[in-house]
A and B are shown apart, each in its own frame.
Chain A
């Protein structure tokens, strides 16, 4: 279908950043700050190739349609072959471009943000490995390949969150991210094994067909699908494995942008979308996906309401938005969910880069130490406002189109509880993000640092400006047909669920509902208005309200006590198990078995060392005794005729022993 040259270009998309990783890891000490140019070159070429892939799939180059090819990778002989390959449909092509583009913006931005860092080149190296892993994950046509890149993504997030490992909190956050996502990874792996055991293949499409043909029993299918979903829950920081993401804010801010926008957390949602044909065959699993998503969206939004750390507000917002995407996938609004993933990548990256810009200017994360930054950092302010409006889902910003799609689908598919949750979340989202923006940028400066803050350099504001344009406009490729504008709904035509999924779910076309859109926009505006009312004219109002609702405030500020709960149960249990095995190892195995053998040998040696008298005549006696004993044994075996001689020898021996023994 494709020529070898095209295939090489596709393969180069993830390989180039991986090569950059090796080059920077090896030559980082030589390149130092020049590492960024190598990295940016690599990602730029990957971006160009990704655009080529997108155009090929869209049919603007060549004949269009999905790109698929593979080579044998692990040959199991009788057991079959694990191929390694590429499968690019519309969804994967969009993701490729988004990942490369966001990664490029972040790498441009990091050049200034990370300037003077002692491990600058290593930072860029891991950033590229991260990008390469995510691109590999997006391209993967089967579970095994996906799992390899899935773990690589986890590893890179661990390395980057712990980039400033001199700080104990960064180390702990890195470990937490790694361990919590491992829980999901383990479940995913079990799910993969179930699929492989039942169908004998790991390819997504083949598993879906096998499941359709009834190779997997209904309950086993649900189990396997939910296990895969738990993997996605861990990676995408959904309830109940969301606890790692806010702590991951310990990493450098551009890394947070990369993790939240394109690479790490998107992987979970992408996995569900990729295996959608399998998911739709289990209505139970779909409901689980939808309700976990809806609950996470609401829960994380409430947590974000009271956070003082600007990065944590945005982090909880990511958890919440990913919940939206899961909700959308769960109720069958596949296109809306993926559209939100695509829009979210841009405005969330922008929000983090804006936060990074503030941190760069005044070296503080606390919004209540900021204030009045609007005049000092106008570009950061306006880009943040654009991203905030997009996040809040205000017409006509990008977030509006996808969020409205999700909310409207929940209503039209009669999931009224989820619809209520989603709508409430819209309100909360608008409130918390504009609370952070108003407190940070309006009013009077609340610290010396805020008074002296200055706009970040152009290399940082440039990517922010580009992303701001996309935060406003990225959604315009997916304006629904029913809206009345003479533009085609490109996104829905390009990233659509398979025919099989459409039939199974009974997806019908719904016209664009202006009433629902108006309700969700009004909720958003109400949130913004409330944030303005509480925080701008008289900030005392917010303080007074927080005082009056102190228990609720603390409850939200502690993140619903999830950390405390997990600390008291799982962490404590794990620590106890660790201490127990440690004690068992030291006491029972170390001092007991190993030490016991040592002590036993020592005692035996002490006891029989007396035989080593140093006198040659004693040794000679031992030899004689031994030979005679040997003679007796041989004699006993050979027969009785030796008995007389043997007895005589024993007598002689006994006499000799007595003779020598008297002198010992």
Chain B
């Protein structure tokens, strides 16, 4: 019991962060691939981005040679993600205006 409490109180190891990041990424990828609603797909993409951010920050903390560089990368990724979302949502809005739907399965004008 004491050991379990120690383990809870102790700082989590790198693997824990990586496993959480991997799971987040997998969920995001899965959602991005199977959900129909464009807005939900965006949310899943955000999940993937943040999974990567988590991994970056974890590595930045655990690898002494990194010198905190991963953190600044994470900030960069957040900024770009924000921009990407605004552009993506604008596209979704435009699609919705013309087609009255945000279902990506119905948007297939580029079918060959």
Contacts and interface: CB of A to CB of B under 8 A. Distances in A.
Interface of A: 609-617, 620-621, 624, 652, 656, 659-660, 663
B33 A620 contact: yes
Given A615-B105, A616-B104, A617-B104, A624 B33 contact: yes
A611 B112 CA distance: 8
Given A660-B34, A663-B34, A613 B29 contact: no
B104 A615 contact: yes
A611 to B, nearest CB: 7
Chain B binding site: helix, strand, loop or mixed by DSSP?
helix
B32 interface: yes
Nearest to A606: B112
A609 B111 CA distance: 8
Contacts of A613: 108, 111-112
A361 B97 CA distance: 90
A612 B110 CA distance: 7
Contacts of B104: 615-617
A620 B35 CA distance: 12
A609 B33 contact: no
Contacts of A610: 112
Kindly name the residue among B41, B107, B108 whose own CB sees the greatest number of chain A CB atoms within 10 A.
B108
B41 to A, nearest CB: 8
Interface residues of B, number: 15
B109 interface: yes
A520 B104 CA distance: 109
A663 B104 CA distance: 12
Nearest to A652: B26
A616 B103 CA distance: 11
A567 B29 CA distance: 80
29 contacts: A609-B112, A610-B112, A611-B112, A612-B111, A613-B108, A614-B107, A614-B108, A614-B109, A615-B104, A615-B105, A615-B108, A615-B111, A616-B104, A616-B107, A617-B32, A617-B34, A617-B41, A617-B104, A617-B105, A620-B32, A621-B33, A652-B26, A656-B30, A656-B34, A659-B30, A660-B33, A660-B34, A663-B34, A663-B105
B46 to A, nearest CB: 15
Contacts of B111: 612-615
A620 B28 CA distance: 12
B103 to A, nearest CB: 11
Contacts of A660: 33-34
B90 to A, nearest CB: 16
Interface string B29-72: 11011100000010000000000000000000000000000000
Contacts of A614: 107-112
Nearest to B112: A612
Contacts of A620: 32-33
A624 B29 contact: yes
Given A614-B108, A659-B33, 18 more contacts: A609-B112, A610-B112, A612-B110, A612-B111, A613-B112, A614-B107, A614-B112, A615-B104, A616-B104, A616-B107, A617-B104, A620-B32, A624-B33, A652-B26, A656-B33, A659-B34, A660-B34, A663-B105
Kindly name the residue among A616, A621, A652 whose own CB sees the greatest number of chain B CB atoms within 10 A.
A616
Nearest to B25: A652
Contacts of B110: 612, 614
Contacts of A621: 33
A663 B106 CA distance: 12
